Amino acid sequence: MAGEPDSLIIGAGSAGATLAARLSEDPGHAVALIEAGPPYAPSRADELSNLAFALTERDWGFGARTHGERIVPYPLGKAAGGGSAVNGGLAIRGMPDDYDEWERLGAAGWAWKDLLPAFRRLESDPLGEEHLHGRDGPLPIERWSPDAYIPLQQQFLAACRAHGIAETADHNAPTSTGVGPFPMNRRGNLRVSTAIGLLAPALDRSNLEVHSDARVTRLLLDGRRARGALVERAGETFEVTAKRVVVCAGAINGPALLMRSGIGPRAALAKHGIACAIDLPGVGAHLMEHPGALLAFVPKQGVCDPERQPQYQLGLRFTAPGSDIPNDMLIGVMNHIDLRGMPDLHAAAGADIGIALTCGVHHPLSRGNVTLTSADPDDPPQIDLRLLDHPEDTRRLLAGLRLAHTLSQTAPLDGSLARLAAPAAAVFDDDRALEGYARSVLTPWFHATGTCRMGSPDDPAAVVDPGCAVRGAEALYVVDGSILPQIPRAPTNLTIIAVAERAAELLRAS
């Protein structure tokens, strides 16, 4: 690439790969893309049957505090495609009101009517009405057909029917609720990440330059103007400059990079000897995450076949009792789960492979944060999720676990389950005991958002404006899950890709 690029994009994940692909569609716009992980290459890791959320070669190796002093692994994709290259492939939109809420919170131009065209451009989905679904986008959307449900999933569906739960063929329809097949960005058994669907077809463009295995340690600022990034690769350090810089490093690494560069809460930066260039108290704050817990079952002989069965097929979106937020909960059945990585559950089950009914709160009210542990980029940030800090999150999670337990006792699903391994059945009659169990197995669903949230210019906690520009800075933008003002009631990956799609529109116009 001759000359200085127009856009320097930091991070080739769900957002960054999408943004680079879309901006480089204009042959007159030069794009440099920097990714800390390896370049895209076909791999068994792209097979959904090889699902592992912490693939060694594609993970940052971070841990996160769920609550109190309990720390769990917190895998984040470190490769082209980012989270979309390591996740479960679920491609579920939030509810329309999630995005309308963004606009009510000050993100003008980010309502459902603005995001729907972005979702449609991205997807190739044969289901539903054309004004709601795209047909020729770069991400294929597939759902299991009823004749392909394995017996366990058919039994889960029958149990839901027995309790009068609604059915849906399309979880991405705006008014959908109930039980139905998960939409997934897959092609057969292949997880179609943004690296595969968007970035790979763009790699031969002369106006797109990709630096892989290259870590950005800090941004380069001239006063308040971003001029580029300091990059490490193979033991060498070099600068990449551009007319504008777009941080797409995600809701954990993104705010950490900003803070190391002197952009963040002044007092917090001073603790690590970092001179504050732009005092933004919202950097690293407002961390949102979906909290989840599971019930573990020992399957009857012959029910589980990890070599031939998908891990999940159907999901139940529902509203918690007493909640006024529709579809604030999600239950699913994992056809097989390896219990060897969970010593307590492994011991309770007395078996290596189990079945899990998972339950998550999809409209959490608890908030955490991301902070630096030092100014050294080799030191990982501290991730405090503070799951279940808000009592309403706890109340809803317990209600969801009780519903999952009820479904597990319903014919014909109960016929596949030899016994409940954890918790003990008596726990469901005692709120305090059930909460204790939920906290003992509590896990994030790896949907971190909101740590550089978008808002109106008069919102002191907002980090970026509705054009994704960092407040108080020049030529500096953030485009990834960190800017979400409210976490959607769905797995976040498809929304984050749509955010990048929408941001590409705005950046092209600017």
Residue positions annotated with a catalytic role: 447
The residue type at 338: D
How buried is residue 166: exposed, middle or buried, by Cβ count under 10 Å (0-12/13-18/19+)? Answer: middle
How buried is residue 374: exposed, middle or buried, by Cβ count under 10 Å (0-12/13-18/19+)? Answer: middle
How buried is residue 49: exposed, middle or buried, by Cβ count under 10 Å (0-12/13-18/19+)? Answer: middle
DSSP state letter for 464: B
Q: Order across the sheet with 31-34: list the strands.
A: 208-211, 31-34, 7-10, 244-247, 476-478
Locus of tokens 């097989």: 336
From CA 402, how far away is CA 235, in angstroms rounded? Answer: 53
Query: Cα angle at 173 between 22 and 410, to 5 degrees?
Result: 130
Q: Please choose, from the candidates 158, 372, 172, 150, the residue with its C-alpha nearest in 3D space to the C-alpha of residue 261.
A: 372
Per-position DSSP letters for 273-308, written without gaps between them: T---SEE-TTTT-SBB--EEEEEEEEEPTTS--TTT
Rounded to an integer, what is the distance from CA 306 to the centroid of its chain? 25
